[in-house]
Structure 1
Amino acid sequence: MTDAEWELIEPLLPPPACTQPSGGRPEKYDRRTVIDAIRYLVDNGIKWRALPTDFGIPWRSLYAYFQRWAAAGLVTHIRDQLHQQVRVRESKNPRTVTVILDAQSVKGAETVGAATRGYDAGKKINGRKRHLAVDTRGLPMFVMVTTAGINDGPLGRDMLLRLRLAHPEVTLAWADSAYLPLVDWANTFLGITLQTVSRPRGQKGFVVLPKRWVVERAISWIMRARRNVRDYERLPQHSEAHISWTLITLMTRRLTKSLRKQSTAPPAAAPEMPRPVRIRASSDAIRLAPAPLR
């Protein structure tokens, strides 16, 4: 994590307990190092026990930070705040009113219990399902992980309700045809206009669909982190936290992209000198040949 990225994340962290009136022990490990270790683990897809000793943090202590911050909602808070900063930088309203919904089924490892996994007959995947709500830029603003054995339609009701509570400004949502039975319910009880985008009739294979391609691109961003290629977590909440950390890394890099370009820009090249020529003499004339002098 660069210094510019740390300047974005540090103000979003709660003050240490030792600085509060209630008191507490000083933190043993530097917070920047803790976040670097978590981002390293998520991006490279390693096990907790395989954490390199170069970070200077025992894996149990790092997992305790990860678990405590996820349970307290700190990871979600950082993700939402960075999402608003990205929108403001792109001259957009910090709170979007339009979202695109979709779900992705991923295989579950042997560490995923039978109570939180299922079989997706459509995708032929035994594992979990990730439900995403992204803005028109493709930045995810809501993540929910459930069993893969339930269709998007029944789970869409729970997702839309949670989305409405977390983001009351949302008024328009695009989704696939699985959400078609929820159009009237969403409009009546939640005040959300739900519009479905279906595949063309007779279409086989992959096709870019209007509006929905944005969330498909967001899913590909999430899959760049190796920890998200398969679900290894015992708790769905921890799977959501891994996805949120991936998005935090994505947005901090996007916010500091121009700063990185300025710091890594190569020095200006010197003006090109005119190419020398070699004079060839003959018995009747003199020719100029475009060859370097030797």
Structure 2
Amino acid sequence: MGTAFRPARTSPASWDAFANVDAFVDAVLAELTAMAVDGTRSARSGPKPPLTGTALRRAIMAIWCVCFCGMQWRAIGLLCDIAFGTLYTLFARWTRLGLWRRLLDRLILAWRQACGDKPVSSAVIVDSRSCQSAPTCFTRGFDGGKKIKGIKIHLAVDKYGFPLAINVSPANRHDSRGIVPVLHQLAGRGFKGTALGDLSYRGQRLSKAGKALGITIQPSAGGHDGTFIPQGIRWVVERSLGWVSRYRRLNIIFERTEAHLVAFIEIAFISILSRRLVRLATQEISA
């Protein structure tokens, strides 16, 4: 499972999330249009007309700023001159309609095609990250190993580091238990293959649960004496968790529902992917 892969060609540049915010906004607008066409997104009913044009672009950018900058809804509402209740309602409604997961799936597929890879991954890499949470968060637990009181994010990513399944749990839940909902999500998406992970995913109970879903759990040591040692493609999930840490809303968790936390994780990866795809398209045009 440690074979090399050819990533899509992108120019080396310093990491700047603000460089292509318009790419994120354009991607969300395109997905909203597609959802309206296929009937997934019904017209909103209410006394106030829905946001359109420039106001809608500002609202989408404001949601991105909440994720990346860690701003409060009230603060970003004042800055963009849109009532914070309107912004939060938009975010909650789009989350309920599955906008973020649908858009992320489309971008992952586009990236895999740009890399000349198959649409369906044959292997995934799983890992978790414990994050501190506020007392108002939907749940809390104490991770004794990392001395963190909060929640734990469980990811299953492809070899490019983009998430195919996400789950969140209290930080005191062991990785071998927290990853089970992720395996069910993968199975629901039709994944049949190998899940690579560290030694936290050992055990007959998890192995049997994986086999029942058609997924083979393959744990292996990822380090020695506290030193991380890259093994095959196992390292890509560590990079994905590093990407997530750059988005401040995902460093200290304030969300009161699991769905909203998962939505912000998806928004972070949508931001990364949309920026990469725009940069790739620009290179192809100039070539």
TM over 0.5: yes
Residue in structure 2 matching 1:192, options 215, 234, 253: 215
Distance in 1 (alpha carbons) for counterparts of 2:158 and 2:95? 23
Q: RCO greater where, 1 or 2, for CA within 8 Å and sep 6 or more?
A: 2
Distance in 1 (alpha carbons) for counterparts of 2:42 and 2:248? 41
Residue in structure 1 matching 2:243, options 212, 216, 221: 221
Counterpart AA for 1:15:
A
Residue 277 (structure 2) pairs with residue 248 (structure 1): no
Alpha-carbon distance, 1:169 to partner: 2.8
Residue in structure 1 matching 2:81, options 56, 74, 85: 56
Alpha-carbon distance, 1:153 to partner: 1.2
Larger Rg: 1
Answer yes or no: is the 8 Å Cα contact 2:134–2:252 preserved in 1: yes
Instruction: State the partner residue of 2:129.
Output: 104
Alpha-carbon distance, 1:259 to partner: 4.8
Q: CA RMSD in A?
A: 2.7
* Partner deviation per Cα, 1:213-255 (whole Å, 9 max, x = no partner): 1100000011111111111111122111111111110010000
Instruction: State the partner residue of 2:28.
Output: 9
For normalisation by structure 1, the TM-score amounts to 0.79
Residue 164 (structure 2) pairs with residue 131 (structure 1): no
Alpha-carbon distance, 1:260 to partner: 5.5
Q: What pairs up with 1:135-174 in 2 under 5 angstroms?
A: 135-165=158-188, 167-174=189-196
Answer yes or no: is the 8 Å Cα contact 2:77–2:83 preserved in 1: no
Residue in structure 1 matching 2:114, options 84, 89, 92: 89
Alpha-carbon distance, 1:93 to partner: 1.4
Instruction: Give the secondary-structure state (helix, strand or coil) at the position aligned to 1:51.
Output: helix
Instruction: Give the secondary-structure state (helix, strand or coil) at the position aligned to 2:273.
Output: helix
Instruction: State the partner residue of 1:212.
Output: 234
% same residue: 31
For normalisation by structure 2, the TM-score amounts to 0.81
Distance in 2 (alpha carbons) for counterparts of 1:50 and 1:21? 29
Residue 207 (structure 2) pairs with residue 183 (structure 1): yes
Answer yes or no: is the 8 Å Cα contact 1:197–1:210 preserved in 2: no
Distance in 2 (alpha carbons) for counterparts of 1:179 and 1:128? 18
Counterpart AA for 1:215:
V
Alpha-carbon distance, 1:157 to partner: 2.3
Instruction: Give the secondary-structure state (helix, strand or coil) at the position aligned to 1:221.
Output: helix
* Partner deviation per Cα, 1:68-89 (whole Å, 9 max, x = no partner): 1112211111111111111111
Answer yes or no: is the 8 Å Cα contact 2:222–2:228 preserved in 1: no
Answer yes or no: is the 8 Å Cα contact 1:99–1:170 preserved in 2: no
Distance in 1 (alpha carbons) for counterparts of 2:43 and 2:281? 39
Answer yes or no: is the 8 Å Cα contact 2:152–2:168 preserved in 1: yes
Given the superposition, is the C-alpha separation of residues 158 and 7 from structure 1 closer, same or farther in structure 2, using an over 3 Å criterion?
closer
| Of 127-136 and 49-58, the range deviating more from structure 2 | 49-58
Q: Which has the higher helix share?
A: 2
Q: What pairs up with 1:12-91 in 2 under 5 angstroms?
A: 12-13=31-32, 14-15=35-36, 24=45, 26-29=49-52, 30-51=55-76, 53-91=78-116
Counterpart AA for 1:171:
G
Alpha-carbon distance, 1:92 to partner: 1.2
* Partner deviation per Cα, 1:23-70 (whole Å, 9 max, x = no partner): 846413543222111111111111111115342311111001111111
Q: Runs of 5+ in structure 2 lacking a partner? A: 1-19
Alpha-carbon distance, 1:155 to partner: 2.2
Distance in 2 (alpha carbons) for counterparts of 1:226 and 1:107? 12
Distance in 2 (alpha carbons) for counterparts of 1:225 and 1:139? 15
Given the superposition, is the C-alpha separation of residues 17 and 104 from structure 1 closer, same or farther in structure 2, using an over 3 Å criterion?
same
